[in-house]
């Protein structure tokens, strides 16, 4: 196998990795994971690759399997020997990049795991809706923390990075583009600029097709 195989779903977190593969010009094939939220069969099929039955899952050309988008982000930068998405070890933006990459994947990303189907975690009858509302409010608080640290025109200022690709995808999720435009305008602008980059425009269009 001389190509990467990316398991995912249009519009899901796999789009973040797909955008990076396209950016680097790496050969890859997409495999639809199925609806991991709604299908027991899809989850059973995915568990041999990822015990959590989550995407992205990236199978490397040598056959090794990687999960966790942050780990994949760092690995692809190392593999290509490039620093255009991940600032190099001595770059002044390196510390901020790592801080906010981990913040996003450790704090914000998991809120969707909990709130997409709250009944998986909240077993008290009638409590799931309230739990979902609390998590949704919390994620808005987290995004406003990120907004306070963001620069322009990209998250790291003049330095484009993989953080902008995360924003391009994740600002399409709850609480949605209108919320970001009104409450986190720097993040919204960074996401827009990233989405329009020619290197990833096709990926973004495939994952987030415009409504007719």
SS3 191: helix
Q: What is the pLDDT of residues 19-58, one digit of tens each?
A: 999 999 999 999 999 999 999 999 999 999 999 999 999 9
Please give the mean pLDDT across all residues of the chain: 96
pLDDT band at 212 (very low <50, low <70, confident <90, very high): low
In a domain, 53, yes or no: yes
Q: What is the reported pLDDT for 62? A: 95
| Full residue range of the structural domain in which residue 53 is found | 4-85+203-207
Average pLDDT, stretch 101-124? 93
Question: Are 147 and 116 in the same domain?
Answer: yes
- CB contact at 8 A, 73 and 85: yes
Distance separating the N- and C-terminal Cα atoms of the chain: 38
Other Cβ atoms closer than 10 A to 188: 20
- CB contact at 8 A, 82 and 20: no
Question: Are 123 and 191 in the same domain?
Answer: yes
Question: Are 81 and 162 in the same domain?
Answer: no
- CB contact at 8 A, 175 and 138: no
Residue 131 scores a pLDDT above 70: yes
Using the 8-state DSSP alphabet, how is residue 154 labeled?
B
In a domain, 26, yes or no: yes
pTM value is 0.96
Question: Are 101 and 80 in the same domain?
Answer: no
Q: What is the pLDDT of residues 141-162, one digit of tens each?
A: 999 999 999 999 999 999 999 9
- H/E run at residue 141: helix 128-149
Question: Are 50 and 76 in the same domain?
Answer: yes
Residue 93 scores a pLDDT above 90: yes
pLDDT band at 1 (very low <50, low <70, confident <90, very high): low
Average pLDDT, stretch 158-180? 98
């Amino acid at each position: 196998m001389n190509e990467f195989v990316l398991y995912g779903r249009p519009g899901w977190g796999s789009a973040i990795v797909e955008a990076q593969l396209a950016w680097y010009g790496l050969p890859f094939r997409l495999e639809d994971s199925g609806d991991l939220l709604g299908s027991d069969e899809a989850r059973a099929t995915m568990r041999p690759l990822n015990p959590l039955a989550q995407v992205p899952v990236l199978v490397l050309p040598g056959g090794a399997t990687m999960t966790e988008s942050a780990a994949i982000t760092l690995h692809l930068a190392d593999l290509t020997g490039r620093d255009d998405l991940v600032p190099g070890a001595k770059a002044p933006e390196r510390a901020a990049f790592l801080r906010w990459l981990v913040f996003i994947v450790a704090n914000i990303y998991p809120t969707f795991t909990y709130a997409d189907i709250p009944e998986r975690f909240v077993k008290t009858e009638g409590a799931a809706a309230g739990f979902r509302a609390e998590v949704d409010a919390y994620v808005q608080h987290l995004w406003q923390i990120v907004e306070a640290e963001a620069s322009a025109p990209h998250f790291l200022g003049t330095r484009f990075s993989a953080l902008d690709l995360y924003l391009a995808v994740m600002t399409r999720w709850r609480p949605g583009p209108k919320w970001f435009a009104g409450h986190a305008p720097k993040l919204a602008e960074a996401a827009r600029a990233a989405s329009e980059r020619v290197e990833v425009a096709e990926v973004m269009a495939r994952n987030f097709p415009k409504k007719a």
